[in-house]
A and B are shown apart, each in its own frame.
Chain A
Amino acid sequence: MELVLSVGIGVFAGSGIWLLFRPRTYQVVVGLALLSYAVNLFIFGMGRLRLNAPPVLEKGVAGGFLTHTDPLPQALVLTAIVIGFAMTALFLVVLLASRGFTGNDHVDGREGR
């Protein structure tokens, strides 16, 4: 499980960073999205991986690190997803505005030589 998660984060982050440095605005958006997936998984992983453990206490049952997983990273990741999603949407709008002004999808507004 640890291996799958770390490889997943690595692949997401690697592809995201590569796309971030590409000259097309669409590639940059996808790169930022992939990067934020990697970050979200990373936050999740920082609560330590536990399988089949609930993050929320049940009524009348005492909780502990042996039976429960850390709920805080899950709350953090939720916030991060929402903010990241909103920012990507905003960025898409700016991308369209830029496209409208310059007529192409290069990040600098004109084709490089």
Chain B
Amino acid sequence: MNWVGHLIILPILLPFVTAAALIPLDERRRSLKGALSFGATLLLLLTGGALMIASAHAQDNASLVYQLGNWAAPYGIVLVVDRLSAMMITLSTLMALCAQMFSMARWHKAGPHFHTLFQFMLVGINGAFLTGDLFNLFVFFEIMLAASYGLMLHGSGPVRVKAGLHYIAINLAASSLFLIGVSLIYGSTGTLNMADLALRIPDLSAENRMLLEAGAAVLGIAFLVKAGMWPLGFWLPQAYSAATPPVAAMFAILTKVGVYILLRLSLLLFGSGAGPSTGFGQGILLYGGLLTVLFGTIGVMASQAMGRLASYYVLISSGSLMAAIGLGITGVIPGTLFYLISSTLGICAFFLLIELVERARDAGADVLAVTMEAYGDGDDEEVAKEVGAAVPGTMAVLGACFVACTMLMAGLPPLSGFVAKFAILHGLFSGLAENSAVTGAQWIFVALLIVSGLAALIALNRVGIRTFWNSIEGTVPRVRLIEITPVLALLAACGFLTLQSGPALRYLQDTATALSQPQIYIGSVRDAVPVVSHGGS
């Protein structure tokens, strides 16, 4: 096995080692901790890029397989990289990098072990993207969740503890469902390896098929809770708007982990080759996704605070993704993945931006500010001491970032949000043209996709006018370069995605092609041979 082969384990190993190395470091040496953690994440980003290139150049679209114990697939544990998982790793790492940089300005001082927890969350997220069997998926999910509990409570305070309590309770209950689903699937098929599972599903006997489908449904509920489908997503706005900004920005990827698993499993296990189980659960995904978008749309319109607005937008985003997966049309998948990248980056940037913008509002013109100033003064002085020179034209930069976020989230041209929605709709209509008319549910999907964008536009306009034009005193928030750079970087990534949308969509088109042919994934996992050792090495 050459060195590229060993890169596959790096997205799990690197943050794991970094997190462990950060624990014994003294809590006061935050800059050192931050720098180490940031460096590791930077390496991880390079690894993600290398994996994307490696998976794109693999022979016959094959997935890259890493056998952890050097045992062949159904019995040994495998990690699998294909275009989709490589892309998700790169996306999550890019967001992590920006969130970390942002946190180093002030937020990592709000509590102990911020960077350690952050790296452990990356272990869980990357592991969930890479794993090739269901039980390890559970383990990585738990690592991700355990770290996210810690990060949710980062900064403490009654609001965060209350939101954290609810967040932990619902996720623990969902984990129980996860285990029930996994064990039902094992009980009915006798395997937990996803590729092996996909092979066995077509030939199951009727009573085992019933058990398998029950198991898959219970398992699905666990992912739907994570992805925030209505009515399982009521916990989400509360938790996300209470979390500290860098944490909330990183949480934007957690819902997408749920969406990723749903996409992966529904295409692999219940794709075209699954016999009587083909298309299992698609209706639930479609209608549940539509209801989630509707709920998110109403929530966005009703929100006054920007944090809540962004949280409800998370629901719109994951609802649109679930509904698009539930359509079951291969042509929609490239657009869907493009939407996933674009909207996640947009939300991440927006969560970071909120805190910078609201800094101005807190000190500024609101009636509330009178009371704020009464006990917020000392705090302000403290802030003033630690910041350097304020960035000139701060409000202009913040305003421009806000406009860019609005365009991304509402799906307005020219940014990537528009390209994504256009690609989804184009895929939907061109995928249907030859066989049938557009069904009612598909029309509703089209309508909701557009209306949810309009709602986001209206809500963001309202908030933007109140924040940028209506502030009486015109207090300029003090923003450090290290805080605005991540926001600009995320928006630049979206801009790059827009400019390069041709190559990006081609990559995603290949991803969708590979996903729609589960036999490629299955074949790669089954045909991987253990490494033969040569003497002592």
- Which residues of A are interface residues toward B (Cβ below 8 A)? 20, 25, 28, 32, 35-36, 38-39, 42-43, 45-48, 72-73, 76, 79-80, 83-84, 86-88, 90-91, 94-95, 97-98, 101-102, 107-109
Contact = CB atoms under 8 A, between A and B. Distances in A.
A42 B180 CA distance: 7
A104 to B, nearest CB: 12
A46 B187 CA distance: 5
Given A46-B183, A94-B149, 16 more contacts: A25-B165, A35-B176, A36-B176, A38-B176, A43-B183, A76-B182, A79-B135, A79-B139, A83-B139, A87-B142, A87-B146, A90-B146, A90-B168, A94-B161, A94-B168, A107-B166
B208 interface: no
Nearest to B156: A97
Interface string B138-170: 110010001001000100111001101110110
A13 B142 CA distance: 21
Nearest to B215: A46
B116 interface: no
Nearest to A33: B172
A91 to B, nearest CB: 5
Contact of B158 (A25, A48, A73, A101): A101
A28 B166 CA distance: 10
Given A83-B142, A90-B168, A97 B179 contact: no
Given A72-B186, A86-B146, A43 B179 contact: yes
Interface of B: 135, 138-139, 142, 146, 149, 153, 156-158, 161-162, 164-166, 168-169, 172-173, 175-176, 179-180, 182-184, 186-187, 192
10 contacts: A39-B176, A48-B187, A80-B138, A83-B142, A90-B146, A91-B172, A94-B165, A98-B161, A98-B165, A108-B162
B146 A80 contact: no
Nearest to B191: A72
A56 to B, nearest CB: 16
* B135, B139, B176 — most chain A CB neighbours (10 Å): B176
Given A28-B169, A79-B135, A107-B165, A90 B180 contact: no
Contact of A109 (B146, B158, B173, B175): B158
B165 A35 contact: no
A97 B183 contact: no
A36 B175 CA distance: 9
B135 A109 contact: no
Contacts of A32: 169, 172-173, 176
Contacts of A42: 179-180, 183
A58 B290 CA distance: 56
Contacts of B138: 80
A109 B165 CA distance: 10
A76 B164 CA distance: 28
Contacts of B180: 39, 42
A90 B149 CA distance: 9
A36 B178 CA distance: 11
Given A46-B186, A109-B158, A80 B179 contact: yes
B47 to A, nearest CB: 27
Contacts of B175: 83-84, 87
A80 B138 CA distance: 9
Nearest to B149: A90
Contacts of A83: 139, 142, 175
A80 to B, nearest CB: 6
Contact of B186 (A73, A94, A97): A73
A97 B135 contact: no
A-B pairs, top 8 by smallest CB distance, nearest first, are: A46-B187, A101-B158, A43-B183, A46-B183, A39-B176, A39-B179, A98-B161, A97-B161
Contacts of A72: 186, 192
B176 A98 contact: no
Contacts of B157: 101
A33 to B, nearest CB: 10
A73 B135 CA distance: 11
A97 B183 CA distance: 34
Nearest to A101: B158
Contacts of A38: 176
Contacts of B184: 46
A60 B165 CA distance: 53
A35 B173 contact: yes
A43 B135 CA distance: 12
Given A39-B179, A83-B142, A90-B146, A109 B162 contact: yes
